[in-house]
Amino acid sequence: MKSCAFSNIEEFYRPQMSGFDERTSAKWSFECSALSPLALFWGFADGTVFLPEEADEAFLSYIKERLGLGALRVIVPRPGSHGLSRSILNDSAAFEALLRLAGEGAALLPWGESEGYRELLGELAKETWRDGLNNHGELWKVRYLGSKSGFRHFFSQRGARLPEGRIAGNVRLAAGLAGEFLDRGEGVVLKADWGVGGKCQLIVPSSGKKRSLAPLSRCIPELKAGAVIVERFIESAGHPASVSCQGEADGRGGFSIHYLSAHLEKSLSGEGALIGKGAFESPALEGQARKLGFFAGKCVSAFGYAGVCGFDMAVDGEGVPWLLEMNPRRTTTTHGAALGELLLGDGWEKTHCVAVAMDAVCGDTFAEVKKALAELLFPAGGNREGVVITAPPKGGKGSFAALARDAGNARKYLAAVRERFRWGG
């Protein structure tokens, strides 16, 4: 079977970016561009990947030669101002290539479903006999479930284990509601309705003071862009602070789990997660996360959501996971699980662990990063483990993954990367 990945990350976030100020929107566009190369790992080794902009040639040579992905085909349509999907529609050669792939039954793998991507599927449906191109449910459900307010509204009606919380119309009201939690000696989280990746939220621990909320909120411009969710902060102790479940819904009540991940401590590697063997030290936590993720997936599938999605959970001091949000799309851990299969084969999660580190401070050029990590790069010492550079650096930051025979060694590889670039130093 063939695969066709679409790095439509910026296109997916465009609706929420329209509500941000110009500076914040520019920041999001830059970060989407930095994540774009991750799509190179979503599909099969001989798959096709549509990118919105040209990839670093040295980086492409590295993944093709060092990682054995020589058959990977990259297509960059003529750039436009309306996102990747419409750029493909407006480039006859790119659309013809996609049409051939669709006709051959290639798996279509977008970051997430956007208006432009739906338009692209509609045009494909007119040109091919392939079934299912228009059976993707209603697009408003993607937006509803992806917003923090919609998610809370949806799952509060279904008996899910959610932190106590409220939905405020703006950040000023949210600051007032947050005071209720602090008065009770509890920590609180203020989340932007359209925040992503934990970056668009303000966490105030139980020791925090109400007067600190107003000035701190100015540091997170996304909080000013609409509704703000105010939730009790789930404080962890001796467990991963958060875990995730990623899978796929069929839109008819069915849901299959692809993988679970346990998030790394920020002190180790910035943003990141562990997937596979040893990712969860506690079988009980892993079992509970799987059960909660499956429940959530079945709920959204029965609602009519179809496609890849992920559920983030916070873990409390007793090791119990609480449902926090849904990502109606792929995530930055998706390529980590895909790397395991690409480089190690089926069943890799039983024999190896993949650690993913995102947004890590590193060198300014790919050549500089590759040279610094030379002896760590997969396959290190000819073994089936080592570090993979998963995106060339942009703005002095990059993306890495470490493959090892257990979680401890995966962490050691990332620690070695950190030493070379003095993360947090």
Q: What is the dihedral of CA 213, 214, 215, 220, to 10 degrees?
A: 80
Structure tokens of 7? Answer: 């790095």
Residue 244 is predicted with a pLDDT of 96
What CATH class has 164-232?
alpha beta
183: helix, strand or coil: helix
Tokens 């009201």, located at residue: 173
Cβ partners under 8 Å of residue 298, min gap 6: 253, 254, 255
Order of strands across the sheet that contains 306-315:
321-327, 306-315, 242-250, 255-263, 271-276, 353-361, 397-404, 386-394
How far is it, in rounded angstroms, from Cα 5 to Cα 340? 17
Residue 269 is predicted with a pLDDT of 39
What values do phi and psi take at 296, rounded to 5? Answer: -65, -40
Residue 303 is predicted with a pLDDT of 97
Q: What angle do CA 205, 211, 214 make, to 5 degrees?
A: 90
- Residues in the chain with pLDDT < 50? 266-270, 424-425
Residue 208 is predicted with a pLDDT of 62
Q: Say whether domain 242-421 belongs to CATH 3.40.50.300.
A: no
Residue 358 is predicted with a pLDDT of 79
CB 414 within 8 A of CB 362: no
Structure tokens of 20? Answer: 């941000």
Residue 267 is predicted with a pLDDT of 37
Domains of the chain: which residue ranges? Answer: 3-136, 164-232, 242-421
Residue 215 is predicted with a pLDDT of 63
- Entry pTM: 0.92
pLDDT digits (tens, 9 = 90+) for 245-299: 999 999 999 999 999 999 886 433 346 899 999 999 899 999 999 999 999 999 9
